[in-house]
Amino acid sequence: MPSLPDAAPAPSVTPADPTADAMSAATLLHLIGATEATSSDSKISWLRSQLIGKDAEFYTPFGRRLLTYADQTASGRSLHYIEDYILNEVLPFYGNTHTEDSHVGGKTTRLVHKAARYVKRCTGAGPGDALIFSGAGATAAIKRLQELIGVSPPCGAGTRERVKAGMREEERWVVFVGPYEHHSNLLSWRQSLAEVVEIGVDEDGLVDVGALRRALGSPEYANRPMLGSFSACSNVTGILTDTRELARVLHQHGAFACFDFAASGPYVKIDMKSGEIDGYDAVFLSPHKFVGGPGTPGILLMNKSLYRLNAQPPSTCGGGTVAYVNGFNEEDTLYYEDIEEREDAGTPPIIQKIRASLAFWVKEYIGYDTMGLRERVYSEMAMKRLLQNPNVKPVSDTLLENARRKQLPLHGRFVTRLLNDLFGIQARGGCACAGPYGHILLNVDNELSLHIRSAILKGYSGLKPGWTRLSFSYYLSKEEFRFILSAIEFVAAYGHRFLPLYRFDWISGSWTFRKQAVKYHIMMEELSLGTEVSKLQNDQQAKVADKLDMKTEAGHSKFERYLESAKKIALSLPDVSNQIVSIPKGVDPDLVLFHV
């Protein structure tokens, strides 16, 4: 297995391997088991073969299920290729990067520097840009930028307000944010020393560029530092922002252009184009969402002109940031001038940085055309099929409109639970950390919003409206894709029948299987694990599950078997569409916008 790359030009077919200095593409492809560099299918096949947990199974109330991962928007999956490289090539020679005099110190330092150079190269960062690894995702990267431009607040709301009151108007930042920001790119700015201006959506559901132009040109913001911090892609709907257009508009008005690429970063080409009219001044990334990315740090790429601490100590002082310090005069301390060096205090996330560069390599190797085409085909096929189903609604205002007419949908987290328990499909229920955008999508007006807030203050967080989010990743097999669609259609048709089998927690919003509910259906005979699993140890569970697997008809795939079993169970259950369920005395019935 080779070592990490210098910033040399990438081969024409295969990207420069962050694990290789001087290896040919053919040798590299042989190493990773992909025999045809031009074959998209072979690349996807190789990637799928490297997924850790691709054959994992787990126990649910309905038996043992193969894990089918459809939550890539939340986090990626680890790869044997990356973890094996770290295990065999990095960890045996691991050492602290604060010395190059020892073999391990020198080798590890070189690996980390090469990893950083590779990430910068993959994102189009130039000599005027700084790469700073931060925390565990884009949240930490955004927070880090706030520290570096001097708007990170002191602790305590009262202290923050006193500091803001003492600031001159011309030194207080104005930050413009978009309509579908993740909470990390909204709440952290609201809690900063900056003034936040929120830009809404236009008629097409996109960032209202006209409103942004008007806000940027407002006389009240003249002569003040300005910055736009916009999501490049919604983590709810997947809608893409025209980042180049927004960058041009921001720069034309003297504002910095910053973009949160957490949701789309694993799939799209990112090119800083720093210094150009449509370039980026800062980019936030969550490499843990990349394939192979779990266990990586957040990434802040920023134009050095944004940095405001040149004449001050770094945002975090510690080892590795100082050239000189003594024990008798603080003013004698000399901090490094290089931003990347002075902002990397303490022992850095060494393994995490290397893993991040490897995740970038996988992204480059698969290729943007391959990822884009497969995702486009899957999304179009899914929408064409699901839009024909009257029981499935894309996230839109129809959800709560129907709820107000008492055509109640299933709770988003209940759908997620059924997908997990019946089919092994991993999805996400809730509002996906996008509360303000959820208000727009679900047409929640101010009055309803405040009523929901009051209920949450009473402890009833389960009343929050939301949705179920699934991702159709480019590396899903066709069988997995069809299976997920069939599972969605099944839950849409029969999900309400399973409501009596689960207990809803009004406080937390979670759904828990009722063990005594076995009497309602045929699990005791057909699946048998409903009551037995709770009594058996893991080895006994495996024996029972294996025995049940043998009872299925030959030639049926596990996916087919799961769907058949789910339908048998559903048909054995009563239709509870009109069932009246008691709700806690403290809950307003008009706020129950879902089936219980």
Give me the DSSP letters along 18-71. Answer: TT-SS--HHHHHHHHT---TT-HHHHHHHHHHHBTTTT-EEEETTEEEE-EE--
CB 386 within 8 A of CB 428: no
State which amino acid sits at residue 278: D
- Take residue 261 and report the two structure tokens written for it: 């690429």
In this prediction, residue 118 carries a pLDDT of: 98
Q: What is the pTM of this model?
A: 0.88
In this prediction, residue 162 carries a pLDDT of: 85
Euclidean distance between CA atoms 496 and 409, whole angstroms: 9
Is the alpha carbon torsion for 480, 287, 83, 65 positive or negative?
negative
In this prediction, residue 158 carries a pLDDT of: 76
Euclidean distance between CA atoms 450 and 448, whole angstroms: 5
CB 98 within 8 A of CB 322: no
Residues of the chain with pLDDT under 70: 1-38, 156-157, 396-406, 517-556, 578, 580
Euclidean distance between CA atoms 270 and 123, whole angstroms: 5
- Take residue 314 and report the two structure tokens written for it: 């770094």
State which amino acid sits at residue 573: L
Domain 94-364 matching CATH 3.40.640.10: the answer reads yes
Q: Any residues with CB less than 8 A from the CB of 147 and at least 6 apart, and which?
A: 315
- Take residue 30 and report the two structure tokens written for it: 């042989």
Residue 542, phi then psi, degrees to nearest 5:
-60, -40
Which position has the token pair 């504002």? Answer: 255
Would residue 486 be called left, alpha or beta, if left means φ above 0 and alpha means ψ between -120 and 50 degrees? alpha
Segments making up each domain of the chain, as ranges: 94-364, 367-589
